[in-house]
Amino acid sequence: MREEIQFEKYIKKGADYHYRQTDKWNFSGFNPYVLARYEKHVNIVLNYVGIVNKNGSNPLRVVDFGCGDGVLLHKLAKRLGSTHFEYYGIDLSKEALEIAKQRLPRASFGQMGVYDSGFENSFFDIVISSDVIEHVNFPNKMVEEMHRVSKDNAIIIIGTPIKYTMKPMDLMHFQEFYPEEFRCLMGTKYSPIDLIESHNLIDYAKYISSRPSRFWFKMKTCLEHNPFMAQRKNSSELFTYMFYIGQKNG
């Protein structure tokens, strides 16, 4: 059996590298593709947060599985605020969690794995995860743990790359998923609401093709709009990223 892949990018790139990638003022390290990944995730949460049943005046609890340096929670908290929401995150990287705690001190972070988060049953109203499930050997165990800690009617939103080759091109990925394959994995525990495909494949190919092309995408994102925010409009388009949205059956 293949051992779990050790995610070492926080050590190699620096524990705050996601913040640098999503900072337009850090133009040399800015990555429009990564920024769109997080902004799209946040927008989807905002679109679906209204379907979560609130228990009186209690705040909604949000957890990020594999939160890393906390950039997704940080961006989400800036949009949702802290009055009616509590934020939690788990990750195995001590270095990344230290950054997360600095950036979002009101949140609760723990050095825990996605198979055994340590939270109580039915604890969260919103469960999110970005670019994590493709790294784990047993995605079904991760989904089961997310389901365990979700309240009835909780929403879950997971972002992951779309599979195009039998063997992942990224050596850090244990496995990737076709959209319907991912629906099937998630559908065992959650009722599907939607699956959104974004990050156009042709745009991505142009972006990585040359330094001038990357410069053009960065400038367009800073001055106009981020091309990677576009999502599927017709069946002929190809995309590189997807977001699954589901709800735990009450």
Q: What percent of the chain has a predicted confidence (pLDDT) above 90? A: 78
Is the residue at 127 inside a domain?
yes
Is the residue at 2 inside a domain?
no
Counted domains in the chain? 1
Tens digits of residue pLDDT in 176-222: 999 999 999 998 789 999 999 999 999 999 999 999 999 999 999 99
Nearest to 67 by CA among 39, 102, 93, 86: 93
Range of the domain at 130: 9-247
Residue 230 in this model has a pLDDT that exceeds 60: yes
Tens digits of residue pLDDT in 30-72: 999 999 999 999 999 999 998 886 655 678 999 999 999 999 9
Is the residue at 75 inside a domain?
yes
Is the residue at 3 inside a domain?
no
Burial letters 3-15, b for 16+ CB under 10 A, else e: eeeebeebeeebb
Is the residue at 4 inside a domain?
no
Q: Specify the CATH number for the domain of residue 137.
A: 3.40.50.150
Nearest to 65 by CA among 6, 4, 148, 8: 148
DSSP 58: P
Is the residue at 70 inside a domain?
yes
Nearest-angstrom CA–CA distance, 151 and 123: 6
Model pTM score? 0.92
Is the residue at 214 inside a domain?
yes
Is the residue at 164 inside a domain?
yes
Residue 9 in this model has a pLDDT that exceeds 90: no
Tens digits of residue pLDDT in 68-77: 999 999 999 9
